[in-house]
């Protein structure tokens, strides 16, 4: 066997094992979350800390949703994820953390009662979307934007049933949505109906009402 063929065979075996690992993550997620209903997924920056306005607002929103019968799922890490899991626990709902294993060794926050560990981002995103009846996003970075636009794309293309996508923090989100309106919509890259897929709010009570109007507990 040549060195080239040996390397090809080794890569093939490695890829085959990776498929089993991916499948195992899907199975674990499906089995753990199968009875989680209703559920709201909450996203946002991992960098904010207790005392930050966005952190405290996320705690309040999650607590109010929990008190209204909604379970809360997050990415399981620190920042907004921790805040939302904390609010869920304070409100008496199931607090789910879908943690991602990263090189910086992100640990699942202590407020998640139901914990999942994922190596693959795309498997984790499937869980966060599949079991959510609404999406709420606080301000965040690339990961947060990825999660928001992934959900919007799936709704836009009718790959999933539409659900509320609520962006909290008009000061943060309005400039992005103005850019989308003046570039994507103006150039007919999206439709006016696509603009209606998102609701931008500031008040926690309005967020809860927006979810309750669509999701029956």
- Detail the DSSP E strand segments found in 101-217: 114-118, 134-137, 165-168, 198-201
Contacts of 35 (CB under 8 A, 6+ apart): none
Output the CA–CA distances (angstroms, integers) from residue 166 to 14, 128, 211, in the order listed.
Answer: 40, 15, 9
Which of 169, 171, 151 shows the shortest CA–CA distance to 58? Answer: 169
Strand segments (E) across the chain? 39-43, 71-74, 95-100, 114-118, 134-137, 165-168, 198-201
Question: For the chain, which residues make up each domain, given as ranges?
Answer: 36-214
Domain covering 36-214, topology: Rossmann fold (3.40.50)
Would you write out the chain's pLDDT as a tens digit for each of its 217 residues?
Answer: 554 444 444 455 577 788 889 999 999 999 999 999 999 999 999 999 999 999 999 999 999 999 999 999 999 999 999 999 999 999 999 999 999 987 765 689 999 999 999 999 999 999 999 999 999 999 999 999 999 999 999 999 999 999 999 999 999 999 999 999 999 999 999 999 999 999 999 999 999 999 999 877 6
For 200, the 3-state DSSP assignment is strand
Please write the tens of the pLDDT for every residue from 166-200.
999 999 999 999 999 999 999 999 999 999 999 99
**CA-to-CA separations, 56 to 49, 84, 127, in angstroms, rounded:** 9, 9, 25
Inter-residue contact 29 to 23 (CB < 8 Å): no
CA 40 remoteness from chain centre:
9
Which residues does residue 199 pair with via DSSP β-bridges, in sequence order?
166
Query: Which distant-in-sequence residues (6+ apart) come within 8 Å of 170 by Cβ?
Result: 200, 201, 202
- 98, 73 in Cβ contact below 8 A? yes
Phi-psi region for residue 148, left (φ > 0), alpha (ψ -120 to 50) or beta?
A: alpha
Angle (CA) 120 77 141, round 5°: 80
Sign of the Cα torsion 135, 136, 139, 143 reads: negative
């Amino acid at each position: 066997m040549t060195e080239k063929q040996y390397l090809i065979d080794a890569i093939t075996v490695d890829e085959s094992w990776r498929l089993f690992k991916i499948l195992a993550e899907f199975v674990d997620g499906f089995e753990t979350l199968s009875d989680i209903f209703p559920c709201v997924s909450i996203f946002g920056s991992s960098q904010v800390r207790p005392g930050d306005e966005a952190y405290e607002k996320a705690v309040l929103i999650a607590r109010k949703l929990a008190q209204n019968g909604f379970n809360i799922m997050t990415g399981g890490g620190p920042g907004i994820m921790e805040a939302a899991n904390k609010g869920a626990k304070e409100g008496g709902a199931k607090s789910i953390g879908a943690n991602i294993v990263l090189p910086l060794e992100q640990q699942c926050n202590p407020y998640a009662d139901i914990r999942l560990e994922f190596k693959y981002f795309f498997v984790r995103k499937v869980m966060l979307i599949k079991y959510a009846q609404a999406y709420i996003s606080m301000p965040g970075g690339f990961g947060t934007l990825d999660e928001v636009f992934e959900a919007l794309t799936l709704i836009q293309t009718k790959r999933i049933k539409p659900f509320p996508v609520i962006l909290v923090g008009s000061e943060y989100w309005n400039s992005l949505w103005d850019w989308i309106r003046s570039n994507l919509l103006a150039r007919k890259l999206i439709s006016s109906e696509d603009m209606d897929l998102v609701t931008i709010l500031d008040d926690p009570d309005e967020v809860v009402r927006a979810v309750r109007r669509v999701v029956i507990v």
